[in-house]
Amino acid sequence: MLDARFVRENTELVEIAMQNRNYSWDKEGFLALDAQRRTLIGELESLQAQRNSTSKQIGVLMQAGKGEQAEAAKQEVRVVNARIEQLEGLTADADAALQGAVMTVPNIPSESTPLGADENDNVEVRRWGTPRAFDFVPQAHWDLGPALGIIDFERAVKLAKSRFILLGGLGARLERALINFMADTHGARGYKEWWCPALGNAETLTGTGNLPKFEDDLFKTTDGLYLIPTAEVMLTNIHRDEVLDGTELPLHYCAYTPCFREEAGSAGRDTRGLIRVHQFDKVEMVKFASPETSYAELEGMVADAEHILQLLGLPYRVIELCTGDIGFSAARTYDLEVWLPSYNAYKEISSCSNCTDFQARRANIKYRDPDAFKGTRLVHTLNGSGLAVGRTMAAVLENYQQADGSVALPEVLRPYLGGLERISLEKEQVCR
């Protein structure tokens, strides 16, 4: 959330930032709400001062034996009190209206974020690895998985609906292997692992910016809880309404969670296989940092996500998102895109963002560092996928497939699968 005072004092800057984001911001509406609120506060404070002054006069008048004047002053206070009570209600309504208006405004992009209208203006930063040249026609993972008996899309539809998946045998084991490998690797690089609830309350979803703007994208229970769209929601809100010790920053957290998204993309787009589904597994990274170090921490987070792909031997590229494509809470974002032969293209597998103090202001997360400054400051929060597990499985299946229909396993995963080197039909029970 942006600071309302900052928006008021920097309307031109905010207006340009929103234009760069392709976001339609009602500047005049915001200024009108802000002016109304400040007018009400001004009248309220004036009447409160008048009441205090008149109340003091009542005692003086009573001591002087001027009862009639004292009674008139009491009546004046009664009238003022009635108006104060009315103004307090109006001010609370104005506060809520202004807060609601600010809550739906996205973060201001970093000055270093490339200008651009949409994903076509994103900037490629680097590539790692070379896409494999097959000497046979490679299969897509949505064909490989069922053929090996490790993915069953049809029964998943029977159990739930489309865009859910059912993994069996070595498919289920490979999913667990990837989760454990990712969590272990991040833990070895200094991330504290958490095990989080998969349901969050409205305050939690509001803290990260998922509510109120993106409520339609969430699965909601009958008692007001939401299935989380990412562990970022939980990890960031661990310190909601807290003041952290600045000497302990940065904090590096990670967590595996299932993730749930009601709106999984437009119809017909990436709806086959494991790429865009309603429920998926992900290992998430979150950092809490000082404003002075947060952008260096972002580069480190990207390196941590890249490390996973490099250990798996999966070719990828790093993209910096432009102003028209970054997420609602982000000020700067890098996407990692893994090579998928089925698309003959790179597809997103991780997104790492610095949200600056945008989420911290919503969630009221501050820190105190007596050696650096007086008082408290808002922390900067960062988040990144480390990685999306289903998409990683798809990339492993497609990039490591063999001519006989089997799939070799990356060496780093073999210890998690009992030393297994290959997934083949002979080693797997067919789903029939």
Closest CA to 349 of 312, 295, 298: 312
Q: How many CB atoms neighbour CB 406 within 10 A?
A: 19
CA-closest candidate to residue 186, choices 295, 308, 293: 308
**Helices within 25-125 (DSSP H only):** 27-63, 67-103
> What single-letter DSSP state applies at residue 401?
B
| Residues 233/200, Cβ–Cβ less than 8 Å | yes
Rounded distance between C-alpha atoms, residue 170 and residue 428, angstroms: 7
Collapsing DSSP to helix, strand or coil, 327 comes out as coil
For residue 129 the two structure tokens come to: 């690895």
Helical spans, DSSP H, in 133-280: 141-148, 153-159, 170-188, 202-207, 232-237
DSSP state of 431: -
DSSP state, 222?
Answer: T
Strand pairing class (251-260; 279-289):
antiparallel
What are residue 366's phi and psi, to 5 degrees?
-125, 170
For residues 246 and 11, give the distance between their C-alpha atoms in angstroms, rounded to a whole number: 31
Active site residues: 261, 276, 348, 351, 391
Contacts of 251 (CB under 8 A, 6+ apart): 192, 244, 287, 288, 289
Phi, psi of 209 (to 5 degrees): 100, 5
